A and B are shown apart, each in its own frame.
Chain A
Amino acid sequence: MKAFVKTDVLKVGQRHFPSIGILVSLAIIMIIFGIITPKFFKLDTLAGILTITAELAVVCVPMALLLISGELDLSVGSNFAFAGVLGALLLNRQVNGLLTLVAVILFGILIGIINGLLTTKLRLPSFIVTLGSMFTLRGLLLVVTGGFPISFRGQNVLLWLLNGKLIGEIRMSFIWLVFVVVCFHFILNKTRHGNWSLGCGGNADVAQALGIPVSRVKLFNFLLVGAMAAFGGMLSFARFGMAYPTLGEGMELEAIASAVLGGCALTGGFGTIFGASLGALLIASLRVGLVLVGAPAYWYRAFIGIILIIGIVINKEVMRRLVGGGQ
């Protein structure tokens, strides 16, 4: 009877809060860092972590939606870098800030649509399609910049709106982070599109048979990823006033890792937006936390890898107990 009640409570918890796994992992890691060094919970430190999280989360959150619908996008890092460079080039040509932002996001949307059309209409694996666009964009970026960073030294209110300092060390990117998470949470959980995305990722053939426009759903998710990768690139550019052709390299893997850490199934059909954003928060916490606790410099990457695996194990174990109950 006791076991039944426990299982029942956990199942209810899981239904209402499916990101419990990543939350537990995050809490454990943060508490460990906090015990080793109280500086970890200082406001400035947390603000720094949130700044790294914001850039990653605006990419990994839409990536989570795409993963849920059964596809992935490896071109986000290149798109991210291209957006920054495009933004810098336009602002240097005295283009209005808002128009620049719109143009950059439209460019990202275009990349998303190309990826989406090639994947859905030609029935090509999104892994290959987006790998191709990743290389193409990175190459074009080098052609456009000649390898040099593009800087913008002027003042523009857009840069502050995107990533200026808000209060203390907290930046505007934190507001965008919250906005993006809320919007995508709403899309996934409160709209027909979100429900269809889950259906497409669960079983595309069944979804098609049930009348779900699978291609259209996936295409829209590619579009969202493209738009948000471009927006993320603008966030990074806005902080430094400089766009590097190397920006965003490896970001695709960090974005996918964050989403998977957050409970998204790589095979599609399952995952949460809140969990994905917590995955990004976990990665950012590790980056900063390991420096704060004085971990040996060259162990950082190894630590990050190990802790990511531990995080996923904790997450999966918590989820197994919740979903599987007494199994």
Chain B
Amino acid sequence: MLVLVQVHDLFKEVEGMKKIMVLVLSVSLAFLGIGAELTFYYVPHTGASDPFWAVQKLGWETACRLLGVKGIFVAPTVFSIEEQVNMLESAIAAHPDGIATTISSDTAFDAPLTRARELGIPVIAVNIEDYTPPYVPYIAYIGQDEFIVGEVLAKRVLSEFTPKRAVIGIHQPGLTCLELRAEGILRVFRDRGIPIEKIDVTPYPTQAVEIMKAYLARYPDTEVIFTLGPLGAHAAIDLVKEQGLEGKVRLATCDVSPQILDAIRDNLMICAIAQQPFMQGFLAAVWLYLYVEYGFLPPAKMPTGPTVIDKSNLGLAEKQVQTTGGL
């Protein structure tokens, strides 16, 4: 009996010592900064209200969860450079371990990102890079060259047939990445002497359909409608279906959604350019982690596109849409 009591006391002592040891270890680790949760911010120019950015957000959050870091995604509800810069400055003030952002303006990011560099916060540009010197200080760019996206899209359409006329429906005029895509398309078509112009279709589906319809009424020889994202593409698909324009007006777009894949399958759409937004958000977190935790130096540019999605690779594209929500 006495032995039992002694064993019990010994156990209690060991338990108590274990607790103290754990406490001491935790305090030491915290003091050394080892095991503390890393915090990364992602501050793009628009937020999850755009399906494309919802996929980016999902990629970012998935990577942060897998890496065990705190990933904070903050973005303006609708495209706003001013709001984005304000949010970026707030993120810098929080002094996180790393920041990912989109360079949605040539000039607005110089001051905040210079300050981030002075504070030792690594910044990765995602989706939109800085196109004009002097370049904003960031350690790497993950995404695609938007001008090339436009060129690739236009050339893929021209490999199918030579239209008499084409139009580009832009749903957010003034947004650098969309403007560059449009410029790429315009360059290829104008070089071939095919009439083409941009129209502001707005992000509202009813207005977009009626605006495109009015354009077709003015220029009935229009054979291709380019759109620069799902908001415009969905409206263009509805227009072609509603007006029975299948085979008369062909579509081509940037970025992918389930509706866009259906349109490719149904021959309404020639192709779509994918830049794999899930991968952009995902890789941003991964590269910040590799940089901060292990000192890896990322390559200056890490392309995630442009990838042409057409009937030939529809199956694989569908898998990505099913698993990530977009492509």
Partner-B contacts on A (CB < 8 A) = 37, 39, 42, 44-45, 48-49, 51-52, 55, 138, 141-142, 145-149, 151, 165, 236, 239-240, 242, 244-249, 284, 287-289, 291-294, 297-298, 300-301
Contact = CB atoms under 8 A, between A and B. Distances in A.
A173 B215 CA distance: 22
B50 A288 contact: no
A37 B195 CA distance: 20
Contacts of A138: 49, 77
A55 B325 contact: no
A244 B206 contact: no
B53 interface: yes
A51 B235 CA distance: 14
A132 to B, nearest CB: 15
Interface SS of chain A: helix
Closest 3 CB pairs of A and B: A147-B54, A147-B48, A291-B214
A294 to B, nearest CB: 6
29 contacts: A44-B213, A45-B217, A52-B207, A138-B49, A146-B48, A146-B58, A147-B47, A147-B50, A147-B53, A147-B54, A148-B51, A151-B258, A151-B259, A236-B205, A239-B238, A242-B205, A246-B203, A246-B231, A248-B204, A249-B77, A249-B78, A287-B211, A289-B214, A291-B211, A291-B218, A292-B217, A297-B198, A298-B200, A301-B200
A237 to B, nearest CB: 10
A69 B210 CA distance: 34
A300 B206 contact: no
Interface string B45-65: 001111101100110000000
A240 B238 contact: yes
Contacts of A289: 214
A289 B211 CA distance: 9
Interface string B188-214: 000000000111100111110011011
B120 interface: no
Given A52-B206, A142-B49, A239-B206, A298 B173 contact: yes
B20 to A, nearest CB: 44
B95 interface: no
Interface string B236-263: 0010001000000000000001110000
B234 interface: yes
A239 B242 CA distance: 10
B50 A297 contact: no
B211 A246 contact: no
Contacts of A42: 217
A316 B316 CA distance: 60
Contacts of A292: 214, 217-218
A287 B202 CA distance: 10
Contact of B54 (A51, A148, A248, A288): A148
A309 B230 CA distance: 33
